[in-house]
Amino acid sequence: MTDNVAVVGPGAIGALLSHALNKAGMKPYLIFKDSRRAEAVLREGGIKLQTPVGDVVTLAASYTSYEEISTKGVVFDLIFITTKNYDFPEALSRVRTSLSSKGFIVTCQNGLFAYEQAVKEVGKERVAALVLSHGVYREKPTHYVWVGGSESYVGSEGLPKKVLSNLAGKLSLLNVKVVDDIKSYMWLKLAVNAAINPLTAVLGVKNRALVEDEVLRNLADKIVDEVVEVANALGVKLPSNPYEEYVKIAMSTGDNYSSMLQDIINKRKTEVDFINGEVVRKGRLVNVKTPVNETLLMLVKAKERQHYRL
Protein backbone atom coordinates (compact mmCIF):
# COMPACT_ATOMS: atom_id res chain seq x y z
CA MET A 1 0.00 0.00 0.00
CA THR A 2 1.26 3.44 -0.87
CA ASP A 3 0.98 6.42 1.41
CA ASN A 4 -1.73 8.35 -0.44
CA VAL A 5 -3.64 9.54 2.62
CA ALA A 6 -6.52 11.99 3.03
CA VAL A 7 -7.98 13.74 6.06
CA VAL A 8 -11.56 14.90 5.48
CA GLY A 9 -12.88 17.78 7.57
CA PRO A 10 -9.58 19.14 8.87
CA GLY A 11 -10.67 20.72 12.15
CA ALA A 12 -9.11 20.03 15.54
CA ILE A 13 -8.94 16.23 15.25
CA GLY A 14 -7.95 16.47 11.59
CA ALA A 15 -5.07 18.76 12.51
CA LEU A 16 -3.88 16.33 15.19
CA LEU A 17 -4.02 13.33 12.86
CA SER A 18 -2.21 15.27 10.14
CA HIS A 19 0.57 16.12 12.58
CA ALA A 20 0.90 12.46 13.55
CA LEU A 21 1.06 11.49 9.86
CA ASN A 22 3.73 14.15 9.27
CA LYS A 23 5.78 12.63 12.08
CA ALA A 24 5.46 9.26 10.32
CA GLY A 25 6.86 10.80 7.14
CA MET A 26 3.58 11.36 5.29
CA LYS A 27 2.05 14.45 3.73
CA PRO A 28 -1.74 14.03 3.72
CA TYR A 29 -4.33 15.72 1.57
CA LEU A 30 -6.60 17.92 3.69
CA ILE A 31 -10.03 17.88 2.09
CA PHE A 32 -12.38 20.83 2.71
CA LYS A 33 -16.01 21.19 1.68
CA ASP A 34 -15.15 23.78 -0.95
CA SER A 35 -12.09 25.28 -2.60
CA ARG A 36 -12.71 28.74 -1.13
CA ARG A 37 -12.12 27.45 2.39
CA ALA A 38 -8.98 25.58 1.33
CA GLU A 39 -7.63 28.70 -0.41
CA ALA A 40 -8.45 30.88 2.60
CA VAL A 41 -6.48 28.58 4.91
CA LEU A 42 -3.54 28.61 2.51
CA ARG A 43 -3.57 32.43 2.47
CA GLU A 44 -3.25 32.32 6.26
CA GLY A 45 -0.12 30.22 5.93
CA GLY A 46 -1.77 26.84 6.45
CA ILE A 47 -2.96 25.05 9.58
CA LYS A 48 -0.79 25.29 12.68
CA LEU A 49 -0.78 23.04 15.73
CA GLN A 50 0.69 23.80 19.14
CA THR A 51 2.07 20.66 20.77
CA PRO A 52 1.89 19.82 24.50
CA VAL A 53 5.45 21.12 24.97
CA GLY A 54 4.55 24.48 23.43
CA ASP A 55 6.11 24.12 19.99
CA VAL A 56 4.02 25.43 17.09
CA VAL A 57 4.24 23.41 13.88
CA THR A 58 2.78 24.13 10.45
CA LEU A 59 1.22 21.04 8.93
CA ALA A 60 2.82 19.64 5.80
CA ALA A 61 -0.22 18.94 3.64
CA SER A 62 -1.92 19.40 0.28
CA TYR A 63 -5.01 21.58 0.68
CA THR A 64 -7.90 20.59 -1.55
CA SER A 65 -11.69 20.17 -1.76
CA TYR A 66 -14.32 17.56 -2.63
CA GLU A 67 -14.75 19.07 -6.08
CA GLU A 68 -11.04 19.18 -6.85
CA ILE A 69 -10.32 15.55 -5.94
CA SER A 70 -13.33 14.48 -7.98
CA THR A 71 -12.29 16.54 -11.01
CA LYS A 72 -8.67 15.34 -10.87
CA GLY A 73 -9.60 11.74 -10.10
CA VAL A 74 -7.31 11.52 -7.08
CA VAL A 75 -7.40 8.08 -5.43
CA PHE A 76 -6.56 7.34 -1.78
CA ASP A 77 -5.44 4.23 0.06
CA LEU A 78 -6.43 5.64 3.44
CA ILE A 79 -9.12 8.21 4.24
CA PHE A 80 -9.66 9.60 7.74
CA ILE A 81 -13.07 11.25 8.09
CA THR A 82 -12.93 13.69 11.02
CA THR A 83 -16.10 15.73 10.45
CA LYS A 84 -18.82 16.13 13.04
CA ASN A 85 -21.38 13.31 13.00
CA TYR A 86 -24.04 15.45 11.33
CA ASP A 87 -21.66 16.17 8.41
CA PHE A 88 -20.51 12.56 8.11
CA PRO A 89 -23.06 11.24 5.56
CA GLU A 90 -22.15 13.94 3.05
CA ALA A 91 -18.42 13.47 3.65
CA LEU A 92 -18.69 9.71 3.13
CA SER A 93 -20.71 10.08 -0.06
CA ARG A 94 -18.24 12.60 -1.47
CA VAL A 95 -15.05 10.59 -0.85
CA ARG A 96 -16.03 6.93 -1.03
CA THR A 97 -15.54 6.92 -4.80
CA SER A 98 -11.98 8.15 -4.25
CA LEU A 99 -10.92 4.97 -2.44
CA SER A 100 -8.37 2.78 -4.18
CA SER A 101 -9.23 -0.89 -4.78
CA LYS A 102 -7.60 -1.86 -1.47
CA GLY A 103 -8.20 1.41 0.33
CA PHE A 104 -10.23 1.88 3.50
CA ILE A 105 -11.90 4.55 5.61
CA VAL A 106 -11.19 5.39 9.25
CA THR A 107 -14.01 6.97 11.27
CA CYS A 108 -13.03 9.22 14.17
CA GLN A 109 -16.37 10.47 15.52
CA ASN A 110 -18.00 10.27 18.94
CA GLY A 111 -20.66 7.60 19.31
CA LEU A 112 -21.41 4.72 16.96
CA PHE A 113 -23.33 6.40 14.13
CA ALA A 114 -20.44 7.20 11.77
CA TYR A 115 -18.78 3.79 12.02
CA GLU A 116 -22.04 1.92 11.57
CA GLN A 117 -23.04 4.14 8.65
CA ALA A 118 -19.67 3.59 6.95
CA VAL A 119 -19.90 -0.19 7.42
CA LYS A 120 -23.39 -0.14 5.91
CA GLU A 121 -22.31 1.97 2.92
CA VAL A 122 -18.89 0.53 2.00
CA GLY A 123 -18.63 -2.76 3.90
CA LYS A 124 -16.93 -3.81 7.13
CA GLU A 125 -13.82 -4.97 5.26
CA ARG A 126 -13.16 -1.36 4.22
CA VAL A 127 -13.79 0.47 7.50
CA ALA A 128 -11.85 0.95 10.74
CA ALA A 129 -12.76 3.03 13.78
CA LEU A 130 -10.35 5.19 15.75
CA VAL A 131 -11.22 5.96 19.37
CA LEU A 132 -9.02 8.88 20.39
CA SER A 133 -8.21 9.90 23.96
CA HIS A 134 -6.54 13.22 23.18
CA GLY A 135 -7.51 16.80 23.88
CA VAL A 136 -7.23 19.34 21.07
CA TYR A 137 -9.11 22.59 20.54
CA ARG A 138 -9.26 25.51 18.14
CA GLU A 139 -7.69 28.73 19.39
CA LYS A 140 -8.00 30.62 16.09
CA PRO A 141 -9.51 29.67 12.71
CA THR A 142 -6.26 28.04 11.52
CA HIS A 143 -4.52 27.48 14.87
CA TYR A 144 -5.14 24.45 17.10
CA VAL A 145 -3.78 23.47 20.50
CA TRP A 146 -3.04 19.85 21.42
CA VAL A 147 -3.05 19.51 25.20
CA GLY A 148 -2.01 15.86 25.30
CA GLY A 149 -3.75 12.55 25.79
CA SER A 150 -3.51 8.89 26.67
CA GLU A 151 -3.71 5.47 25.02
CA SER A 152 -6.09 5.42 22.05
CA TYR A 153 -7.57 2.51 20.13
CA VAL A 154 -8.17 1.34 16.58
CA GLY A 155 -10.06 -1.67 15.35
CA SER A 156 -12.30 -3.11 12.68
CA GLU A 157 -14.84 -5.88 12.23
CA GLY A 158 -13.48 -6.75 8.79
CA LEU A 159 -9.93 -5.52 8.18
CA PRO A 160 -6.92 -7.84 8.76
CA LYS A 161 -4.89 -7.23 11.91
CA LYS A 162 -1.78 -6.64 9.78
CA VAL A 163 -3.50 -3.68 8.10
CA LEU A 164 -4.61 -2.29 11.48
CA SER A 165 -1.10 -2.66 12.92
CA ASN A 166 0.25 -0.74 9.95
CA LEU A 167 -2.34 1.97 10.58
CA ALA A 168 -1.44 2.15 14.28
CA GLY A 169 2.20 2.54 13.25
CA LYS A 170 1.32 5.57 11.15
CA LEU A 171 -0.26 7.08 14.28
CA SER A 172 2.43 6.01 16.75
CA LEU A 173 2.76 9.59 18.00
CA LEU A 174 -0.74 9.24 19.48
CA ASN A 175 -0.07 5.94 21.29
CA VAL A 176 -2.64 3.95 19.31
CA LYS A 177 -3.26 0.31 20.20
CA VAL A 178 -5.01 -2.28 18.00
CA VAL A 179 -7.94 -3.95 19.78
CA ASP A 180 -10.13 -6.89 18.75
CA ASP A 181 -13.48 -5.48 19.90
CA ILE A 182 -13.43 -1.82 18.89
CA LYS A 183 -17.15 -1.40 19.54
CA SER A 184 -16.68 -2.01 23.25
CA TYR A 185 -14.21 0.90 23.36
CA MET A 186 -16.65 3.05 21.41
CA TRP A 187 -19.34 2.26 23.98
CA LEU A 188 -16.96 3.11 26.82
CA LYS A 189 -16.22 6.50 25.29
CA LEU A 190 -19.95 6.96 24.66
CA ALA A 191 -20.62 6.41 28.37
CA VAL A 192 -18.05 9.05 29.33
CA ASN A 193 -19.32 11.57 26.77
CA ALA A 194 -22.96 10.93 27.70
CA ALA A 195 -22.17 11.79 31.31
CA ILE A 196 -19.84 14.78 30.91
CA ASN A 197 -21.09 16.62 27.83
CA PRO A 198 -24.81 17.24 28.44
CA LEU A 199 -24.53 18.06 32.15
CA THR A 200 -21.79 20.63 31.58
CA ALA A 201 -23.63 22.03 28.56
CA VAL A 202 -26.95 22.48 30.35
CA LEU A 203 -25.49 23.82 33.59
CA GLY A 204 -22.63 25.86 32.12
CA VAL A 205 -19.99 24.34 34.40
CA LYS A 206 -16.44 23.06 33.98
CA ASN A 207 -15.82 19.33 33.84
CA ARG A 208 -14.63 19.01 37.44
CA ALA A 209 -18.09 19.98 38.73
CA LEU A 210 -19.33 16.48 37.91
CA VAL A 211 -16.97 15.03 40.49
CA GLU A 212 -16.92 17.79 43.09
CA ASP A 213 -20.70 18.26 43.34
CA GLU A 214 -22.46 15.30 44.95
CA VAL A 215 -25.77 15.89 43.17
CA LEU A 216 -24.10 16.09 39.74
CA ARG A 217 -22.00 13.01 40.49
CA ASN A 218 -25.17 11.09 41.33
CA LEU A 219 -26.84 12.28 38.13
CA ALA A 220 -23.80 11.34 36.04
CA ASP A 221 -23.88 7.87 37.59
CA LYS A 222 -27.52 7.48 36.54
CA ILE A 223 -26.62 8.44 32.96
CA VAL A 224 -23.89 5.81 32.91
CA ASP A 225 -26.24 3.24 34.50
CA GLU A 226 -28.48 3.54 31.45
CA VAL A 227 -25.58 3.31 28.98
CA VAL A 228 -24.30 0.16 30.68
CA GLU A 229 -27.76 -1.41 30.72
CA VAL A 230 -28.24 -0.77 26.99
CA ALA A 231 -24.74 -2.06 26.19
CA ASN A 232 -25.36 -5.22 28.22
CA ALA A 233 -28.66 -5.81 26.44
CA LEU A 234 -26.79 -5.58 23.13
CA GLY A 235 -24.17 -8.06 24.32
CA VAL A 236 -21.41 -5.45 24.64
CA LYS A 237 -18.94 -5.87 27.50
CA LEU A 238 -17.16 -2.61 28.30
CA PRO A 239 -13.35 -2.95 28.52
CA SER A 240 -13.05 -1.00 31.79
CA ASN A 241 -15.18 0.54 34.54
CA PRO A 242 -17.15 3.41 32.94
CA TYR A 243 -17.78 5.14 36.28
CA GLU A 244 -14.08 5.27 37.11
CA GLU A 245 -13.39 6.35 33.53
CA TYR A 246 -15.68 9.40 33.53
CA VAL A 247 -14.40 10.47 36.96
CA LYS A 248 -10.79 10.17 35.78
CA ILE A 249 -11.47 12.19 32.63
CA ALA A 250 -13.58 14.82 34.39
CA MET A 251 -10.75 15.41 36.86
CA SER A 252 -7.88 15.30 34.36
CA THR A 253 -9.72 17.89 32.23
CA GLY A 254 -11.21 19.62 35.26
CA ASP A 255 -10.62 23.21 34.15
CA ASN A 256 -11.87 22.59 30.62
CA TYR A 257 -15.22 23.41 29.11
CA SER A 258 -16.60 20.33 27.37
CA SER A 259 -16.96 20.39 23.59
CA MET A 260 -20.74 20.44 23.91
CA LEU A 261 -20.65 23.44 26.25
CA GLN A 262 -18.29 25.19 23.83
CA ASP A 263 -20.81 24.53 21.05
CA ILE A 264 -23.57 26.11 23.15
CA ILE A 265 -21.43 29.13 24.00
CA ASN A 266 -20.48 29.63 20.35
CA LYS A 267 -24.05 29.07 19.09
CA ARG A 268 -23.10 25.94 17.16
CA LYS A 269 -25.09 22.78 16.65
CA THR A 270 -24.14 20.13 19.23
CA GLU A 271 -23.68 16.39 18.78
CA VAL A 272 -26.16 15.47 21.51
CA ASP A 273 -28.25 13.48 19.00
CA PHE A 274 -25.26 11.21 18.47
CA ILE A 275 -24.34 10.85 22.13
CA ASN A 276 -27.32 10.77 24.50
CA GLY A 277 -29.62 10.41 21.50
CA GLU A 278 -27.67 7.31 20.47
CA VAL A 279 -28.23 5.79 23.91
CA VAL A 280 -31.96 6.48 23.63
CA ARG A 281 -32.22 4.97 20.12
CA LYS A 282 -30.23 1.86 20.99
CA GLY A 283 -32.26 1.47 24.17
CA ARG A 284 -35.50 1.39 22.22
CA LEU A 285 -34.11 -1.36 19.99
CA VAL A 286 -33.64 -3.64 23.01
CA ASN A 287 -36.60 -2.39 25.09
CA VAL A 288 -34.41 -0.68 27.69
CA LYS A 289 -35.79 2.58 29.04
CA THR A 290 -33.38 5.52 29.20
CA PRO A 291 -35.32 8.38 30.85
CA VAL A 292 -32.28 10.29 32.16
CA ASN A 293 -30.52 10.32 28.79
CA GLU A 294 -33.77 11.23 27.05
CA THR A 295 -34.36 14.15 29.42
CA LEU A 296 -30.84 15.49 28.89
CA LEU A 297 -31.23 15.06 25.14
CA MET A 298 -34.28 17.32 25.21
CA LEU A 299 -32.69 19.85 27.57
CA VAL A 300 -29.59 20.25 25.41
CA LYS A 301 -31.68 20.56 22.25
CA ALA A 302 -33.82 23.23 23.91
CA LYS A 303 -30.74 25.14 24.99
CA GLU A 304 -29.21 24.72 21.54
CA ARG A 305 -32.27 26.30 19.94
CA GLN A 306 -32.37 29.25 22.33
CA HIS A 307 -28.60 29.85 22.25
CA TYR A 308 -28.36 30.59 25.96
CA ARG A 309 -25.12 32.13 27.21
CA LEU A 310 -23.17 31.39 30.34
Query: Which residues form the catalytic set?
Result: 189
CA 105 to CA 118: how far, in whole Å? 8
CA 54 to CA 88: how far, in whole Å? 32
The continuous run of DSSP H or E covering 202 comes out as helix 182-203
Is 38 within 8 Å of 32 (Cβ atoms)? yes
Q: What is the CA radius of gyration of the chain?
A: 19
Question: Rounded to whole angstroms, what are the CA distances from 123 to 92, 119, 131, 264?
Answer: 13, 5, 19, 35
Q: Give the strand pairing for 176-178 and 134-140.
A: unpaired
